[in-house]
Structure 1
């Protein structure tokens, strides 16, 4: 029996993400939690003739505890969305508090759950989650993931457009670093099957992968951010992890993790100097089985992008750690 939970299930990401998870044959029980409307979303989804039993919970009557209890995997898109002119960092104070509160409950009632964090700013919310789990004595770095798959999905899509590939998903594109702006580093030199990106399009392509979220916010004319594409990315990572937990081999996806304590991550930590970093992660029954070090074969341009990314990441990480340590538990 596999129990999956979506925290923030009634939101713009949460609803389509919950729909995709409801359709997965790998999930037996799907619990939806939010501060409003989650029972309605759950009832709506429960009419779909797929395997997972679906239930919805609100904060009242210990709803969060009931939703998270004994969960195998928890996906957290909870928080407020970006608005025009708002950076991911502008979201910090609100979303940081939301994530910390949710993680405290997960630590108490589902300490062994695999936790997938979507809530922005991921560069800071994942360190907040790690510090909160450490304080509760249940931190396992192999089970905590910052979902950076949307950066990979965008890279696949945009590279396919430039190179004329008809099936973007056939491309494997490592995206390393973090999950906002210049901390996102697409490694186009290591795309497989190999592609050639014209020099005159390289900088614009990198920028589009780094700031693709702004493109969506602008196109929605201030009425939303990347919700559908993010829901797809969150599902793609969750499904891959569930398959790996069930024994599927060779499944790799970049993810933002506590790199220094992931098998294979020590060299990456020594190279970057940051505790949290996204690299391709080999997934398995324990979660993050191995960090794959691709930093030894970067081009000069990629090295320059990496340097900028690491500088930005350190501040984001410090901010998250500081928030987690100074904020009293509820």
Structure 2
């Protein structure tokens, strides 16, 4: 792998998450070429985002690609994706108030599926990292699609890093400990009660009274809703999500470069469920090792038992969609 010389593509790179994510990836010293890829009807043209980012005094060259839903789209995708080592996908539509998750799945699974199909064709060796809701359903579904192409499950990653970022920040606010000394593993999924921060495994967090842990746990689960409310329903957690996505992207690239790299991610697993978020070692083939969830305290064991059937239902919803729509065939 070309250490410090990676090609990265951000699909949906002109959107609310995509723009700041593209900027952060352009600043990564391991990235030499960045492709910003989005629909031609995007509010801000992908070429405009690329032109803006190309002025950063970094070594990374930046190109923008816009595509229509026509026959040319596949040619644009080929030029953009060929040779990519990492494809980040902050694509799809956000959940609207009152919208059923299955309705959201129908829309976003189709969008993500088209991108993953293109990646399988043009950059089958790339790591494909998903920021597509509902991640709990879409992650496993995209992995199954990828495997049906004869490709490795280790290349498909659901990004749950924002949960870790939030858990770490909230522990810092409670304890005053240095951020570099805080590392809270977060397991399970990436929605509501399926998110389980393991505060017992963070040395710094052990000073927090046990009575405060359920509230802290709930704060991590509800953090996204808090941001939506603070933005008066006019946006979601775009900036912090971009930061989290770039952190995961940095970890993947470090692994590809042969450096030790561990992050939590939602990946194919032989553990609690067939798809599950836990600590992952990244290497030259993407996901190199899925770590055991480790020792849990009583509270965490109860929470794990409660979240498991919920997460399994959401995983199965993705597979149900595949069956009903002749998807991943």
Please say whether Structure 1 and Structure 2 have the same fold, judged by a TM-score greater than 0.5: yes
Q: Residue in 1 aligned with 2:188?
A: 177
Q: Residue in 1 aligned with 2:198?
A: 187
Q: Residue in 2 aligned with 1:200?
A: 211
Cα deviation digits, residues 101-151 of structure 1 (max 9, x gap): 11111111111110111111111111121121122222x122111111100
Partners of 2:268 and 2:197 in 1: how far apart?
Answer: 20
Deviates more, 1:55-64 or 1:2-11: 55-64
Partners of 2:283 and 2:36 in 1: how far apart?
Answer: 25
Q: CA deviation at 1:312?
A: 1.0
Alignment of 1:108-187 (within 5 A): 108-138=121-151, 140-165=152-177, 167-187=178-198
The answer on 1:20 being equivalent to 2:24 is yes
What is the SS of the residue equivalent to 1:315?
Answer: helix
TM-score normalized by the length of structure 1: 0.91
Cα deviation digits, residues 197-244 of structure 1 (max 9, x gap): 223321111001111100100110001000000000000011111112
Q: Residue in 2 aligned with 1:286?
A: 285
Q: Residue in 2 aligned with 1:46?
A: 54
Q: Residue in 2 aligned with 1:254?
A: 264
Partners of 1:85 and 1:325 in 2: how far apart?
Answer: 25
Aligned structure 1 segments of 4 or more residues deviating by more than 6 angstroms: none
What is the aligned counterpart of 2:67 among 51, 59, 64? Answer: 59
Q: CA deviation at 1:319?
A: 1.2
What is the SS of the residue equivalent to 1:302?
Answer: helix
Cα deviation digits, residues 16-38 of structure 1 (max 9, x gap): 00000111111111011111221
Partners of 1:169 and 1:94 in 2: how far apart?
Answer: 39
What is the SS of the residue equivalent to 2:226?
Answer: helix
Aligned residues: 315
Q: Residue in 2 aligned with 1:210?
A: 221
Partners of 2:266 and 2:61 in 1: how far apart?
Answer: 30
Query: Relative to structure 1, is the Cα distance of residues 90 and 157 closer, same or farther in structure 2, using a 3 angstrom cutoff?
Result: farther
Q: CA deviation at 1:70?
A: 2.1
Contact 2:11 2:18 in 1 (8 A): yes
Q: Residue in 2 aligned with 1:264?
A: none
Partners of 1:204 and 1:319 in 2: how far apart?
Answer: 29
Q: CA deviation at 1:87?
A: 7.1
Partners of 2:101 and 2:265 in 1: how far apart?
Answer: 18
Partners of 1:90 and 1:329 in 2: how far apart?
Answer: 16
Partners of 1:59 and 1:201 in 2: how far apart?
Answer: 49
Q: Residue in 1 aligned with 2:325?
A: 327
Structure 2's unaligned 5+ residue stretches are none
Q: CA deviation at 1:169?
A: 3.7
Q: CA deviation at 1:86?
A: 5.3
Q: CA deviation at 1:322?
A: 2.3
Structure 1's unaligned 5+ residue stretches are 261-267
Contact 1:178 1:256 in 2 (8 A): yes
Contact 2:9 2:84 in 1 (8 A): yes
Partners of 2:322 and 2:59 in 1: how far apart?
Answer: 38
What is the SS of the residue equivalent to 1:93?
Answer: helix
Partners of 1:325 and 1:39 in 2: how far apart?
Answer: 37
TM-score normalized by the length of structure 2: 0.91
The answer on 1:313 being equivalent to 2:325 is no
Partners of 1:51 and 1:327 in 2: how far apart?
Answer: 44
Q: CA RMSD in A?
A: 1.8
What is the SS of the residue equivalent to 1:21?
Answer: helix
Query: Relative to structure 1, is the Cα distance of residues 276 and 54 closer, same or farther in structure 2, using a 3 angstrom cutoff?
Result: same
What is the aligned counterpart of 1:300 among 298, 301, 305? Answer: 298
